[in-house]
Structure 1
Amino acid sequence: MPYHHGQVITAAAVTAGAIGGAYCAYRWYQESTKTKIPEEWTQAGTLKNIYVYPIKSCGPVIMNQAELSTLGLKDGWLRDRFLMVVDEKNNFVTARAYPELLLVRPSVKSSVLTLTHSDMEPVHVNLAEVVSNQIRKTARVWGVMVPVYDCGWETSEWFSRLLDKSSGNFRLVYYASQTGRSLREGTNKIYKFTDKDTGALPDEVPFNLINDASVEDLNTKLKETKVTHRNFRPNFVLEGGKAYDEDNWKFVKIGDNVFEIIKPCFRCILTTIDPETGVRDAKADPLETLKTYRQMTDPAARRSAGNSPRMGVQMALRSGPGGLVALGDPIYVA
């Protein structure tokens, strides 16, 4: 059937819109990279595990598939490290000081966040209502002010009873921006972050990958304890690689999604707390063992990291947002 005049205009508009959208996506991609994406890749293994941590320092949600955004992994209202617990002075708190946080199990169904813990009754909060109510405040992450929404008295009471048996010393807050937060002064002296690399509420970057072979090698060196990749709280776990090959990578591609490695992941006391029990290792392992062989050798990087050993890599997205990653995806490196 022949087109009418209006149909021709509509078809042209759709075509123009598609071209314009593709051009905008291309421009975003060009602007976000500022660096040349490799053309040659080597497969290093496959994607074994995907973890999303809705609340900073709390337990993970185990995923089969997740969407990528510049701020981290997501699946609808489930977002990686978009929530955190703060104290009375609005400073973030973590499992470094409150190991019990590791045993909090979050889940998200539609827009409702549910928190469970073996010693507590479940509590629910509707994140859509939190955002629409816009009870806005500011909180601090590593001394940097960030905008957040308060999640209300019920979650405040729940975390307060869990952490110090008070009625309101802690509050749960939700990140109130769609752009990455600022990092503390001095972060860029060694590693060059762009304004699209910092995520919502992670310590520094929105994606963390651990190599299972490196964890297995570490376990051969540990004398009185064993660890799993869960001790290192990664988003992605690589299976099938060689131990510590990640030290030499600059880029990672999971399926068709490209990431740039911003820096090694320098490890802290949090790795010494059993993620299943919340109990600290008496000899501060695996951290102390890692210090014996995983220190930076470059003088400038060593001054920046101090005595913190490296394990895993921190990455930022370099392909457009909206891509998907799934278990079993091939992982390529360059």
Structure 2
Amino acid sequence: MLRLAAIVPRLDLPVPVSLFIIYSVCLTPVLFLLYNELAGRRTRSRQPRGCRKLGLKSFSNLADEHQYSTNGVKSRSKDGTEGEKKIKVKALISYPIKSCAGVEFNFADGTNTGLMYDRQFAFAEYIETTAKNDDGKKAVAGRWDCRTLRDGKFSKMALIRPEIWVPDPSSPTYSPKAPEVRSKGVLVINFPRTGTGLFTKLGMKLNLCSREESFQVPLFPPDGEYSSIPMRIFSDTPNAYNYSTHIPSSLGAFLGSTKPLSLFRFDPEHPRPVRGNAPTEADLGFKPTMGFPDEYPLQMQNLASIRSMAEKVKYAIPKFTVRRFRPNIVLEGLEAYDEDDWKKMRIVPGPESRVMPSSSSDDKKGVDILVACRTVRCRLPNVDPDTGERHQVEPDKTLKAMRNIDAGADKSGCLGMMLVPVSQKFTIHVGDEVEVLERGEHFYIKE
């Protein structure tokens, strides 16, 4: 410091300016080290003990979706030739919390309710109601109602980002007694900070504090620790585990909710039945059930159909993504809307499948899947998954005008297909090939 001060006269600068330069030179390395330390602590504090995170971490299989054409292949490959025309699994996505961001996988195990971890959680508001007692007096009652992106004021749910963490015995913090291990993992839930002060905003810009808030809940509730109570979702009122004690007040502020808010976890003892066009127990050998999807365990989208729709709505939505439709399975290699008359399909391991170790099935013959019906679209795809903003008209307007193709759908637009696997345990990989086993007519039945 003294040696630096000795050069001040030579610089012919005012003393305050010179001191500012000196302190800047001296303090910059210290601030840099502090920055790295605080950022590192923030990252480590978000990692559940003894666990590892599932899903793709640094890339997406849908990153090149805008390069595809309506014939289901990329417009041009790297060597300038057109891509191969073979139906394949392009992407696999689970949505741990209904209407919130998805988690993408290279392979996914299937269960009797669809893809593992898919729609196992849902947010709900407590709605007070009044009813008359036997003596004729009014009494205040209430119920928990599921909330989704269909609700206009809940469009920001698209920005809630869940992470799936499962126990990892190789982790240095692993312990069988740890709460994170006893619950077979945790769901970390991230959402944007709101209403922050000046210093917090500065810290966010410097990456000294996170741009998101987060909290975590048990992936599977330990026995007896949470109550299983009724929650209404559409026409069903299944019992589900109430995680209200974990919800921070800032989440309600972010969503704009003025009522009590809770997160419910699907209770396997109280599954929802699959109705409508679903195959029967006699057809499958088991009764098809689900957690918190709308109507069926799985939803499929054809990337070519999405590109066709993108051409029609590009005046309003220039970057139109398949993620607006929240599919579990995205296919490539078939013509636009070819899937409309599929009745049965088979997914088999392909030579380019991104095969990874799996716990559920070693069957090399693949899995047969019944195509129950077309996916009847509501206004949910109007919400941009990257911004949480709802477009006033598209793609709902174009879907109703151009995809009113199912006499049972009450003049609604259809895009995609609803699926019911014929097996309660299966595995699907990105790159698996798809065989169409049966085609036929569809008539949507809503129950």
Question: Same fold by TM (over 0.5)?
Answer: yes
CA distance in 2 between partners of 1:66 and 1:132 (Å): 29
Partners of 2:419 and 2:88 in 1: CA distance: 17
CA distance in 1 between partners of 2:406 and 2:255 (Å): 39
**Match 1:63 to one of 93, 105, 118:** 105
Q: Determine helix, strand or coil for the equivalent of 1:246.
A: helix
After the TM superposition, which parts of structure 1 deviate over 4 Å for at least 4 consecutive aligned residues? none
Q: Check conservation: 2:238, 2:271, Cα contact below 8 A.
A: no
1:54-98 CA-to-partner distances (Å, cap 9, x unmatched) read 011111011111101120111xxxx11011011103111101210
The separation in 2 between residues aligned to 1:267 and 1:131, in whole angstroms, is 38
1:326 paired to 2:429: yes
Alignment partner of 1:117 is 2:210: no
Q: Which residue of the partner structure matches residue 50 of structure 1?
A: 92
Tell whether the 8 Å contact from 1:51 to 1:62 is kept in structure 2 after alignment: yes
Q: Which residue of 2 is the match for residue 228 of structure 1?
A: 321
Equivalent residues in 2 for 1:187-226 (5 A)? 188=276, 191-194=277-280, 196-222=287-313, 223-226=315-318
How many residue pairs match? The answer is 275
**1:128 Cα offset (Å):** 3.3
The percent of aligned pairs where both chains have the same amino acid is: 28
Structure 2, unaligned stretches of length 5 or more? 1-84, 127-142, 167-184, 194-211, 282-286, 349-365, 438-447
Deviations 1:242-295 (A, max 9, x none): 10010111012122011101110000110111011011113x111111111111
The letter for the 2-side match of 1:118 is: P
- Is it true that 1:154 corresponds to 2:279 in the alignment? no
2:414 pairs with one of 299, 305, 310? 310
Q: Which has the larger radius of gyration?
A: 2
Q: Is the 8 A contact 1:125 1:155 kept in 2?
A: no
Select the residue among 73, 78, 88 that pairs with 2:115.
Answer: 73
SS at match of 1:321: coil
Once residues 105 and 383 of structure 2 are traced to their aligned partners in structure 1, the CA distance between those partners, rounded to angstroms, is 23
Aligned counterparts of 2:221 and 2:272: Cα–Cα separation in 1: 23
Residues in 2 aligned to 1:72 and 1:134: alpha-carbon distance in whole angstroms: 24
User: Contact 1:179 / 1:199 at 8 angstroms: preserved in 2?
Assistant: no
Q: What residue in structure 2 maps to residue 8 of structure 1?
A: none
Contact 2:242/2:262 (<8 A) preserved: yes
TM-score after normalising by structure 1 = 0.77
Letter in 2 for 1:235: N
RMSD of equivalent CA atoms = 2.0
Cα displacement (A) at 1:158: 5.0
Deviation, 1:151, is: 1.3
Measured in 2, the distance between the counterparts of 1:225 and 1:152 equals: 37
Change in 2 beyond 3 A, CA 1:73/1:315: same
Q: 1:176 aligns with which of 267, 273, 294?
A: 267
Choose between structure 1 and 2 for higher RCO, CA contacts under 8 A separated by at least 6 residues: 1
Question: Which segment drifts farther, 170-179 or 122-131?
Answer: 122-131
Q: Deviations over 1:174-197 (max 9, x none)?
A: 0112564136xxx53xx2453633
Checking the alignment, whether the CA contact within 8 Å between 2:188 and 2:217 is kept in structure 1 is yes
CA 1:330–1:296 in structure 2 vs 1: closer, same or farther (change >3 Å)? Answer: same
For residues 70 and 220 of structure 1, what CA distance do their matches in structure 2 show? 37
Mapped partners of 1:192, 1:62: distance in 2: 26
For residues 268 and 309 of structure 1, the distance between their equivalents in structure 2, rounded to whole angstroms, comes to 8
Contact 1:84/1:201, CA 8 A, preserved across alignment: yes
Distance 1:131 1:81, change over 3 A: farther
Distance in 2, Cα, partners of 1:131 & 1:54: 21
Q: Residues of 1 paired with 2:260 and 2:279: CA distance?
A: 34
* Alpha-carbon distance in 2 for matches of 1:81, 1:306: 26
Q: Within 1, Cα distance between the matches of 2:385 and 2:121?
A: 19
Greater displacement, 110-119 / 50-59: 110-119
CA distance in 1 between partners of 2:398 and 2:242 (Å): 40
Tell me the alpha carbon deviations over residues 184-225 of structure 1, each in whole angstroms, 9 at most, x when there is no partner: xxx53xx24536334111010010000000001111212321
Q: What TM-score comes out, normalization by structure 2 length?
A: 0.58
**AA partner of residue 242 (structure 1):** E
Residue of structure 2 in register with 1:237 after alignment: 330
For structure 1, the 5+ residue unaligned runs are: 1-42
Distance, in Å, in 2 between the alignment partners of 1:131 and 1:61 is 27
Which residue of the partner structure matches residue 82 of structure 1? 120
**2:187 is matched by which residue type in structure 1?**
L
Residue 163 of structure 1: how far off its partner (Å): 1.7
Residue 118 of structure 1: CA displacement?
Answer: 2.3
Q: Which secondary structure state, in structure 2, belongs to the residue aligned with residue 134 of structure 1?
A: coil
Taking the aligned partners of 1:231 and 1:281, their CA distance within structure 2 comes to 12
